[in-house]
Amino acid sequence: MNKRRPKHLALHLIKLPLPGFVSILHRVSGLVLFLALPVLLLMLQYSLNSIATYTDLMVVLAHPIAKLVLLGLLWSFLHHFCAGLRYLAIDLHYVRSLGQARASSMVVMAVSLLLTILIGVQLW
């Protein structure tokens, strides 16, 4: 047996393939959406409460930092949705090979970024 094995795993040296990044981003985007849910529900309440609270909310959301945060939440939702469809296709055995898994992860990244750009330009 080789005694020169490392005692500690050097995580910064591991090269993760694209499906691994998609998996990690799927989990991170789900966490971000879960943590942002109370704020989004509060914004919905302010928008429906009265005209005064609606206009106050619109003033806050007109700030560029708020728009960037909402753009990040939009990407998070779109990535989580597209990756969820990918995992559903994998579970239903539509994606069978490693090549298909890698190609579907590229599609998830491309589609989520493209939809974020298209919708973000519309909403900005």
In a domain, 71, yes or no: yes
In a domain, 24, yes or no: yes
The least confident of 8-17, 47-56, 67-76, 107-116 is 8-17
The tokens 């429906």 sit on which residue? 48
The pLDDT score that the predictor gives to residue 123 is 83
Q: Could you tell me the CATH number of the domain that includes residue 100?
A: 1.20.1300.10
The pLDDT score that the predictor gives to residue 22 is 95
**Per-residue pLDDT tens for 46-69?**
999 999 999 999 999 999 999 999
Q: What is the pTM of this model?
A: 0.84
39-73 burial, b if ≥16 CB within 10 A, otherwise e?
Answer: eeeebeebeeeeeeeeeebeeeeeeeeeeeebbeb
Number of domain units in the chain: 1
Residue 6 has pLDDT above 70, yes or no: no
In a domain, 3, yes or no: no
In a domain, 100, yes or no: yes
- Token pair of 12, please? 């910064």
